[in-house]
Amino acid sequence: MTELKSYAAWDAVTRWFHWINVLCVFALAAVGVVILKDSALGLTSDGKVLVKITHSLIGYVFVLNLLWRFIWAFVGNPYARWKSIIPGGKGFIQSLRNYVFAFMSGKPEHYLGHNPLGRIAVFVLFVLLAIQAITGLVLAGTDIFYPPFGHWIAQWVAANGVPPESLLPYSPDMYDAMAYKSMRDFRSPYIAIHEFNFFVLCFIVLLHIAAVIITEVKEQGAIISAMFTGRKIFSKDPVDVDKNGSEFPS
Protein backbone atom coordinates (compact mmCIF):
# COMPACT_ATOMS: atom_id res chain seq x y z
CA MET A 1 0.00 0.00 0.00
CA THR A 2 1.35 3.44 -0.95
CA GLU A 3 2.29 5.52 2.07
CA LEU A 4 0.80 9.00 2.13
CA LYS A 5 2.57 11.92 3.75
CA SER A 6 1.17 15.26 4.86
CA TYR A 7 3.12 18.44 4.07
CA ALA A 8 2.62 21.99 5.34
CA ALA A 9 1.83 24.22 2.36
CA TRP A 10 -0.43 27.25 2.81
CA ASP A 11 -0.06 29.41 5.91
CA ALA A 12 -3.09 30.83 7.72
CA VAL A 13 -2.79 34.32 6.20
CA THR A 14 -2.80 32.92 2.67
CA ARG A 15 -5.86 30.78 3.42
CA TRP A 16 -7.77 33.64 5.02
CA PHE A 17 -6.93 35.90 2.07
CA HIS A 18 -8.16 33.29 -0.39
CA TRP A 19 -11.58 32.80 1.18
CA ILE A 20 -12.17 36.48 1.96
CA ASN A 21 -11.24 37.23 -1.64
CA VAL A 22 -13.64 34.57 -2.91
CA LEU A 23 -16.52 36.05 -0.91
CA CYS A 24 -15.69 39.61 -1.96
CA VAL A 25 -15.34 38.78 -5.65
CA PHE A 26 -18.66 36.95 -5.79
CA ALA A 27 -20.43 39.67 -3.78
CA LEU A 28 -18.93 42.44 -5.92
CA ALA A 29 -19.87 40.58 -9.09
CA ALA A 30 -23.47 40.18 -7.93
CA VAL A 31 -23.85 43.83 -6.93
CA GLY A 32 -21.95 44.91 -10.06
CA VAL A 33 -24.48 43.17 -12.28
CA VAL A 34 -27.25 45.10 -10.51
CA ILE A 35 -25.36 48.36 -11.23
CA LEU A 36 -24.97 47.42 -14.89
CA LYS A 37 -28.69 46.61 -15.16
CA ASP A 38 -29.96 49.48 -12.99
CA SER A 39 -32.20 50.92 -15.73
CA ALA A 40 -33.72 47.55 -16.61
CA LEU A 41 -34.34 46.93 -12.91
CA GLY A 42 -36.02 50.32 -12.57
CA LEU A 43 -33.79 51.59 -9.77
CA THR A 44 -34.46 55.11 -8.53
CA SER A 45 -31.62 57.56 -7.91
CA ASP A 46 -31.71 56.66 -4.20
CA GLY A 47 -31.65 52.99 -5.12
CA LYS A 48 -28.65 53.49 -7.40
CA VAL A 49 -26.79 55.32 -4.63
CA LEU A 50 -27.55 52.57 -2.12
CA VAL A 51 -26.33 49.87 -4.50
CA LYS A 52 -23.15 51.81 -5.28
CA ILE A 53 -22.47 52.42 -1.58
CA THR A 54 -22.88 48.68 -0.94
CA HIS A 55 -20.54 47.90 -3.85
CA SER A 56 -17.96 50.37 -2.53
CA LEU A 57 -18.04 49.08 1.05
CA ILE A 58 -17.48 45.50 -0.12
CA GLY A 59 -14.81 46.89 -2.42
CA TYR A 60 -12.88 48.39 0.49
CA VAL A 61 -12.72 44.96 2.17
CA PHE A 62 -11.58 43.50 -1.16
CA VAL A 63 -8.86 46.15 -1.64
CA LEU A 64 -7.50 45.90 1.91
CA ASN A 65 -7.46 42.11 1.72
CA LEU A 66 -5.61 42.23 -1.61
CA LEU A 67 -3.12 44.81 -0.33
CA TRP A 68 -2.40 42.66 2.73
CA ARG A 69 -1.81 39.64 0.48
CA PHE A 70 0.65 41.61 -1.63
CA ILE A 71 2.54 42.61 1.53
CA TRP A 72 2.42 39.03 2.80
CA ALA A 73 4.09 37.92 -0.45
CA PHE A 74 7.26 39.55 0.93
CA VAL A 75 7.16 37.99 4.41
CA GLY A 76 4.99 34.85 4.29
CA ASN A 77 6.17 31.28 4.07
CA PRO A 78 8.17 30.32 0.94
CA TYR A 79 5.11 29.09 -0.96
CA ALA A 80 3.25 32.38 -0.38
CA ARG A 81 6.05 34.67 -1.58
CA TRP A 82 6.45 36.48 -4.87
CA LYS A 83 9.28 34.15 -5.86
CA SER A 84 6.79 31.28 -5.85
CA ILE A 85 4.07 33.29 -7.61
CA ILE A 86 5.62 35.36 -10.39
CA PRO A 87 6.35 33.13 -13.40
CA GLY A 88 9.89 33.26 -14.70
CA GLY A 89 13.34 32.96 -13.29
CA LYS A 90 16.05 30.38 -13.80
CA GLY A 91 14.71 27.05 -14.97
CA PHE A 92 11.05 28.12 -15.11
CA ILE A 93 10.49 27.26 -18.78
CA GLN A 94 12.00 23.81 -18.30
CA SER A 95 9.92 23.25 -15.17
CA LEU A 96 6.82 24.28 -17.12
CA ARG A 97 7.64 21.83 -19.91
CA ASN A 98 8.34 19.02 -17.45
CA TYR A 99 5.09 19.67 -15.59
CA VAL A 100 2.93 19.77 -18.73
CA PHE A 101 4.57 16.62 -20.16
CA ALA A 102 4.21 14.72 -16.88
CA PHE A 103 0.59 15.85 -16.49
CA MET A 104 -0.33 14.81 -20.04
CA SER A 105 1.40 11.44 -19.61
CA GLY A 106 -0.71 10.64 -16.55
CA LYS A 107 2.16 10.89 -14.07
CA PRO A 108 1.82 14.47 -12.79
CA GLU A 109 4.53 16.11 -10.73
CA HIS A 110 3.46 17.30 -7.29
CA TYR A 111 4.05 20.80 -5.98
CA LEU A 112 3.51 22.11 -2.46
CA GLY A 113 3.16 25.64 -3.73
CA HIS A 114 1.83 26.62 -7.13
CA ASN A 115 2.89 24.40 -10.01
CA PRO A 116 4.36 26.23 -13.06
CA LEU A 117 0.98 26.59 -14.78
CA GLY A 118 -0.56 27.65 -11.48
CA ARG A 119 2.04 30.39 -11.10
CA ILE A 120 1.02 31.86 -14.45
CA ALA A 121 -2.67 31.66 -13.55
CA VAL A 122 -2.27 33.18 -10.08
CA PHE A 123 -0.08 36.00 -11.41
CA VAL A 124 -2.70 36.83 -14.06
CA LEU A 125 -5.40 36.75 -11.39
CA PHE A 126 -3.42 39.12 -9.16
CA VAL A 127 -2.93 41.56 -12.06
CA LEU A 128 -6.65 41.50 -12.89
CA LEU A 129 -7.62 41.91 -9.23
CA ALA A 130 -5.25 44.87 -8.89
CA ILE A 131 -6.70 46.54 -12.00
CA GLN A 132 -10.21 46.02 -10.65
CA ALA A 133 -9.23 47.45 -7.27
CA ILE A 134 -7.55 50.59 -8.67
CA THR A 135 -10.29 51.41 -11.17
CA GLY A 136 -12.94 50.67 -8.55
CA LEU A 137 -11.43 53.18 -6.14
CA VAL A 138 -11.42 55.84 -8.85
CA LEU A 139 -15.06 55.12 -9.70
CA ALA A 140 -16.09 55.25 -6.04
CA GLY A 141 -14.63 58.76 -5.94
CA THR A 142 -16.25 59.95 -9.16
CA ASP A 143 -19.62 58.31 -8.49
CA ILE A 144 -20.34 58.90 -4.80
CA PHE A 145 -17.33 60.99 -3.70
CA TYR A 146 -15.88 58.20 -1.53
CA PRO A 147 -12.21 58.02 -0.51
CA PRO A 148 -9.42 57.91 -1.37
CA PHE A 149 -10.15 60.15 -4.39
CA GLY A 150 -13.61 61.50 -3.59
CA HIS A 151 -12.34 64.61 -1.77
CA TRP A 152 -10.43 65.84 -4.84
CA ILE A 153 -13.27 64.92 -7.19
CA ALA A 154 -15.73 66.88 -5.03
CA GLN A 155 -13.44 69.92 -5.07
CA TRP A 156 -13.24 69.60 -8.83
CA VAL A 157 -16.98 69.57 -9.54
CA ALA A 158 -18.53 71.61 -6.71
CA ALA A 159 -20.43 74.68 -7.89
CA ASN A 160 -19.44 78.13 -6.60
CA GLY A 161 -20.56 78.55 -3.02
CA VAL A 162 -21.19 74.80 -2.50
CA PRO A 163 -18.87 73.20 0.08
CA PRO A 164 -17.24 70.15 -1.60
CA GLU A 165 -17.79 68.01 1.51
CA SER A 166 -21.53 68.55 1.21
CA LEU A 167 -21.86 67.16 -2.32
CA LEU A 168 -24.38 64.38 -2.87
CA PRO A 169 -24.54 61.90 -5.75
CA TYR A 170 -27.11 62.59 -8.48
CA SER A 171 -27.51 66.22 -7.36
CA PRO A 172 -26.70 68.27 -10.49
CA ASP A 173 -27.73 71.56 -8.85
CA MET A 174 -24.69 71.21 -6.58
CA TYR A 175 -22.22 70.78 -9.45
CA ASP A 176 -20.48 73.13 -11.82
CA ALA A 177 -21.79 71.90 -15.18
CA MET A 178 -18.53 72.29 -17.14
CA ALA A 179 -16.39 70.80 -14.38
CA TYR A 180 -18.80 67.91 -13.98
CA LYS A 181 -18.67 67.17 -17.71
CA SER A 182 -14.86 67.21 -17.60
CA MET A 183 -14.93 64.85 -14.64
CA ARG A 184 -17.27 62.46 -16.47
CA ASP A 185 -14.92 62.49 -19.47
CA PHE A 186 -12.03 61.71 -17.13
CA ARG A 187 -14.08 58.90 -15.57
CA SER A 188 -15.13 57.28 -18.84
CA PRO A 189 -12.00 55.17 -19.56
CA TYR A 190 -11.98 53.91 -15.96
CA ILE A 191 -15.54 52.65 -16.42
CA ALA A 192 -14.60 50.91 -19.66
CA ILE A 193 -11.56 49.24 -18.09
CA HIS A 194 -13.49 48.27 -14.95
CA GLU A 195 -16.32 46.67 -16.92
CA PHE A 196 -14.09 44.90 -19.47
CA ASN A 197 -11.75 43.67 -16.73
CA PHE A 198 -14.79 42.38 -14.81
CA PHE A 199 -15.76 40.04 -17.66
CA VAL A 200 -12.16 38.90 -18.18
CA LEU A 201 -11.84 38.27 -14.44
CA CYS A 202 -15.05 36.23 -14.40
CA PHE A 203 -13.71 34.10 -17.25
CA ILE A 204 -10.34 33.56 -15.56
CA VAL A 205 -12.03 32.68 -12.25
CA LEU A 206 -14.09 30.00 -14.01
CA LEU A 207 -10.91 28.65 -15.64
CA HIS A 208 -9.20 28.67 -12.24
CA ILE A 209 -12.01 26.67 -10.63
CA ALA A 210 -12.01 24.15 -13.49
CA ALA A 211 -8.20 23.81 -13.34
CA VAL A 212 -8.24 23.22 -9.58
CA ILE A 213 -10.88 20.49 -9.93
CA ILE A 214 -9.03 18.79 -12.80
CA THR A 215 -5.71 18.98 -10.94
CA GLU A 216 -7.33 17.59 -7.79
CA VAL A 217 -8.67 14.60 -9.74
CA LYS A 218 -5.40 13.99 -11.61
CA GLU A 219 -2.90 14.57 -8.80
CA GLN A 220 -4.88 13.41 -5.77
CA GLY A 221 -3.02 15.90 -3.60
CA ALA A 222 -5.83 17.33 -1.45
CA ILE A 223 -5.42 20.67 -3.24
CA ILE A 224 -8.90 21.91 -2.38
CA SER A 225 -8.85 20.84 1.26
CA ALA A 226 -5.38 22.40 1.63
CA MET A 227 -7.00 25.83 1.39
CA PHE A 228 -8.85 24.91 4.60
CA THR A 229 -6.22 22.86 6.45
CA GLY A 230 -3.01 24.33 5.06
CA ARG A 231 -1.67 20.86 4.26
CA LYS A 232 -1.31 18.80 1.10
CA ILE A 233 -1.08 15.01 1.04
CA PHE A 234 1.16 13.16 -1.42
CA SER A 235 2.57 9.66 -1.91
CA LYS A 236 5.98 11.05 -2.90
CA ASP A 237 8.00 14.18 -2.20
CA PRO A 238 6.79 17.25 -4.10
CA VAL A 239 9.20 18.86 -6.55
CA ASP A 240 9.45 22.03 -4.45
CA VAL A 241 9.59 20.45 -0.98
CA ASP A 242 12.14 21.84 1.46
CA LYS A 243 14.96 19.29 1.28
CA ASN A 244 15.77 19.89 4.94
CA GLY A 245 12.32 18.63 5.87
CA SER A 246 11.47 21.85 7.65
CA GLU A 247 7.85 22.50 8.56
CA PHE A 248 6.43 25.97 8.04
CA PRO A 249 3.70 27.35 10.29
CA SER A 250 0.28 26.59 8.85
Across the range 87-94, mean pLDDT stands at: 90
Q: Is residue 240 part of a domain?
A: no
Q: Is residue 243 part of a domain?
A: no
Q: Is residue 120 part of a domain?
A: yes
Domain containing residue 98: 5-234
Q: Is residue 247 part of a domain?
A: no
- pLDDT on residue 244: 44
Residue 124: give its domain's CATH number: 1.20.950.20
Q: Residue 8: what are its φ and ψ, rounded to 5°?
A: -70, 130
Q: Is residue 227 part of a domain?
A: yes
Q: Is residue 33 part of a domain?
A: yes
- pLDDT on residue 50: 95
Read off the pLDDT of residues 217-232 as tens digits, 9 standing for 90 and up: 877 767 888 999 999 8
In total, how many domains does the chain have?
1
pLDDT category of residue 107 using cuts at 50, 70 and 90: confident
pTM for this prediction: 0.91
- pLDDT on residue 233: 86
Q: Is residue 250 part of a domain?
A: no
Q: Is residue 242 part of a domain?
A: no
Is residue 58 within 8 A of residue 28, CB to CB? The reply is yes
